[in-house]
Amino acid sequence: MKTPTVVRNGVTPQMIKLIGRLVDMIPWPVRRSAMGDVITSLPDGKSRVAEDVFGWNRSTAELGMNELRTKILCVNDLSDRRKPRSEEKEPKLLSDISEIMEPHSQSESQGCSILFNALIIQNIYEIDTVRIKFVSDIGYFVCS
C-alpha cells in the first residue's frame, strides 16, 4: 500500500488540525497565499492532497500557490457577488404591495408610515393570502 504524502513528510493529525486553525485565522486574500505556502511545504505541492487533508477548495489552493509563486495577490470584486435587493429586481414592488394593502390599512393622515401599515396588515392578512393576490391579481411569479 502506498504511504500518504503527509505521513511521508512526518505530519501528524494534530499538526493538520493546528495548521487548519491557524490558516483560518488569516484574513482573505492573504489566506490563499498561506494555503499555498502550506501546500508547497507539506503535501509536496499537491493541491488535491491538501483538499483531502485540510478540506480546502482545490482551485482556491492552486490560486494561493500561484499567488505565492508570483508574489501577486488576486483581488476579488465582492461587490458584484451580492444578491440584488427585491426593490432592484422589481422596481414596482413597493407600489404593488401598497396597492394590495391600501384598502385594509390606516391612512397616512392618521400618522402611520407604510412600514407601520405593513406590520398592521401582517396581523390582518396571512402571508399565503398576500402571495395569492401577488400571483393572481398582479402577475408576480413567487417561488414556493
C-alpha span between 54 and 37 (Å, rounded): 13
Nearest alpha carbon to residue 125 among 94, 102, 101, 108: 101
Return the domain boundaries, the chain. Answer: 5-70, 86-138
Whether 31 has a pLDDT exceeding 70, the answer reads: yes
Whether 60 has a pLDDT exceeding 70, the answer reads: yes
- What is the pLDDT averaged over residues 91-108? 68
- What is the pLDDT averaged over residues 98-112? 59
Query: In the chain, how long is the greatest CA-to-CA distance?
Result: 81
Query: Cell triple for residue 127?
Result: 402571508
Please state, for a pLDDT cut of 90, what percent of the chain lies above it. 1
C-alpha span between 102 and 92 (Å, rounded): 15
Tell me what pLDDT residue 77 has.
66
- What is the pLDDT averaged over residues 67-74? 85
- What is the pLDDT averaged over residues 52-77? 85
Q: Residue 56 — pLDDT band, cuts 50, 70, 90?
A: confident
Helix axes 114-124, 93-101, angle to 10 degrees: 50
The per-residue b/e assignment along 42-72, b for 16 or more CB within 10 angstroms, e otherwise, is bbeebbebbbebbebeeebbbbbbebbeeee
- What is the pLDDT averaged over residues 20-43? 86
CB 47 within 8 A of CB 54: no
